[in-house]
Amino acid sequence: MERRRILKIGAALVSAAVLSACAAPSQNTTPDIVDTAVAAGSFNTLVAAVQAADLVDTLKGPGPFTVFAPTDDAFAKLPAGTVETLLKPENKDQLVSILTYHVVPGRVLAGDLAGKRVRANTVNGQTLHIDGRSGVKVENANVISADVIASNGVIHVIDTVLLPK
């Protein structure tokens, strides 16, 4: 008797799990901007900076965002000690300003920029000058890989860290 009761409970649990899985809405399997950057492996400094600036939740949010993402090599071009100084808690405001200068609201693909010179307002309130007439150049940085699609926006990989004016 007890065994039959256990089997019925087990069957009910399995049925509930199957029904729950079937009724669950399909989830987007495309990673967000932060997870895409982490998975790429070439944005360790950027990811550390985003964490130090407490911007992870924002960049995992719904967006959409366009991020001009400097590689680790781009950060390495900064004067010695710059990154370490920016990552200190007392420099968080400056770090946030620099990082948000790399983010434009909305999803802007390279094709949207092709053959054009445009100004784009950044999340930090300043303007970026983008030249898409011969490849894509953002201020003094070259886009070295464009249109890395994330669930909440797009990443354009750049070879130089952009510094707000």
Q: Is residue 1 part of a domain?
A: no
133-147 pLDDT, tens digit per residue, is: 998 999 999 999 999
Summarised one tens digit per residue, pLDDT across range 68-108 is: 999 999 999 999 999 999 999 999 999 999 999 999 999 99
Domain total for the chain?
A: 1
Residue 39 lies in a domain: yes
Residue 17 lies in a domain: no
Q: What is the CATH number of the domain that holds 65?
A: 2.30.180.10
Q: Look at residue 76 and tell me if it is in a domain.
A: yes
Answer yes or no: are the C-beta atoms of 117 and 128 closer than 8 Å: no
- Domain residues for the domain of 147 are 30-158
**Which pLDDT value is given to residue 74?**
97
In a domain, 8, yes or no: no
Give domain status of residue 25, yes or no: no
pLDDT higher than threshold 80 for residue 6: no
In a domain, 24, yes or no: no
